[in-house]
Chains A and B, each alone.
Chain A
């Protein structure tokens, strides 16, 4: 039984991959320059012509695209194919401003679904599996992407979408689902609900989960793996590049292989835009070299991460990206310190709390305040006030040690923080800094 969906590509020697990438890049730049006025103008401003791009070594000469460009060009400004050649639209939730719409030709859908198929196979999926897709369906890419990948692999696909958790578990038990795909926060919630229903992982047949679309931590991985009795695999993607499947995790679980035959990654210094060498932390940038309808070149993801070409035990040669350390959208600057919600989540799980929390940032008398509401752990509940206050203090101290700033921790009742069935809302920033 093969562990790969496309062994030739996934295990291709780097020299060959580079050649393949260069060929695709040269053709793609030409395609974009000819068909996308918006990007042609950016190239002209920078005085770069398609002929200047002869191989991937010339990639750095191209101008960047940012989320702001996508907003300016909304909706058709970055389209590279006539609408009559497009068959699908997907869109972002628009939580960080104006929504982004992405267009797909039939070939774009094919390549996207093949990327998702690689992820499912890497997580151990075969045609004998029952794959429950509990990502949202609709404009959100999660459901449609994994649904398509699951079909390609030949899994029996359950297009559940998210929500109605008891019913999810009911189907899981009745139909013997072996793979679940959803956001990590929803996976944690399913695990919680399973236990509340008086069930254990022995009552379900799940063996693997493919979780993405929001940041999550190693600690959260362990807790999901235990509560559902599975191996939990990370998957990465953004609507701008197609959706989930840009990168996926293998059995080694030490980072995600990037499908670099379709998406060339770079790490840049977010301040200067300079390309950084492998192994350094910076902003992840992707160039789509095979997509037809919505081919973004040098798109800045705002995800901070590290790339590595270290040999992987799974046999894949595809470059690996470490789990993003945070998205600059998620990053809070509190009293001048960069704070990622994932750091707080790490501490909570280490200290035995559930990863359900709410961060509230405000500014009082020109000083930032950080308030974190955390669900108390019922197993640690004591009738003695002193004990409970010590728990609050110990947690505040652990968070302070991690972040370098003092939070105010508030213990709240178990299950009192709203659970999400899609992307979790964990931060409320009440500061009005731009008025």
Chain B
């Protein structure tokens, strides 16, 4: 099972930076499945899960963007109280260090998905599998 891949892009903190990235993805017919933007006063890091990571990486690199691809955990859980807490408990019990996470639309309106960035992805993934949490693969996200 291939873990989900996230593509991150360095963007300057000034007008029209996000527009530039999105225009390139649009031209290449790439669909953005999940997105988050972390920023400082100087720059931002745009993190995305897209339906074709390799293509997105190529297109952005050709346009001189700084890009990095990392493996992340993507999960789908029911959209009801206590579900995320359960996931965090599983990771916490295994001492998995969580860097950041962000939510995106689930496969149905009864579920919600998350991208979770951890340092030890195998450890996290095994723990979640044992805990019965549904993980999305690269294939799931490319559809």
Within 8 A of A (CB), among B84-126: 99-100, 117
* CB-based contact B66/A378 at 8 Å: yes
Residues of the B chain whose Cβ atoms lie less than 8 Å from the Cβ of A410: 42-43
Residues of the B chain whose Cβ atoms lie less than 8 Å from the Cβ of A414: 10, 64-66
B35 at the interface (CB under 8 A from A): no
Residues of the B chain whose Cβ atoms lie less than 8 Å from the Cβ of A382: 8, 68
Report A368-382 CB contacts with B as 1/0, cut-off 8 Å: 000000001110011
* CB-based contact A389/B40 at 8 Å: yes
* CB-based contact B45/A412 at 8 Å: no
Q: B-side interface residues toward A, CB under 8 Å?
A: 6, 8, 10-12, 38, 40, 42-43, 45, 47, 64-68, 70, 99-100, 117
A383 at the interface (CB under 8 A from B): yes
* CB-based contact B45/A383 at 8 Å: yes
* CB-based contact A383/B6 at 8 Å: yes
* CB-based contact B70/A412 at 8 Å: no
Chain B nearest CB from A387 CB (Å) reads 10
Residues of the A chain whose Cβ atoms lie less than 8 Å from the Cβ of B99: 384
A86 at the interface (CB under 8 A from B): no
Residues of the B chain whose Cβ atoms lie less than 8 Å from the Cβ of A412: 12, 42-43
A385 at the interface (CB under 8 A from B): yes
A388 at the interface (CB under 8 A from B): yes
A54 at the interface (CB under 8 A from B): no
* CB-based contact B66/A376 at 8 Å: yes
Chain B nearest CB from A197 CB (Å) reads 12
How far is B68's CA from A311's CA once the two chains are assembled, in angstroms?
52
Residues of the B chain whose Cβ atoms lie less than 8 Å from the Cβ of A392: 42
Within 8 A of B (CB), among A247-305: none
Given contact pairs A385-B38, A388-B10, A388-B45, a sample of 10 additional A-B residue pairs in the complex whose CB atoms are under 8 Å apart: A377-B66, A378-B66, A381-B10, A381-B67, A383-B6, A383-B70, A384-B99, A412-B12, A414-B64, A415-B64
Residues of the A chain whose Cβ atoms lie less than 8 Å from the Cβ of B38: 385
Report A384-427 CB contacts with B as 1/0, cut-off 8 Å: 11001100100000000000000000111111100000000000
Q: What are 5 sample pairs from A and B whose C-beta atoms fall under 8 A apart?
A: A376-B43, A385-B45, A388-B45, A412-B43, A414-B64
Most buried by B among A377, A388, A413: A413
Nearest chain B residue, comparing its CB with the CB of A385: B38
Nearest chain A residue, comparing its CB with the CB of B62: A196
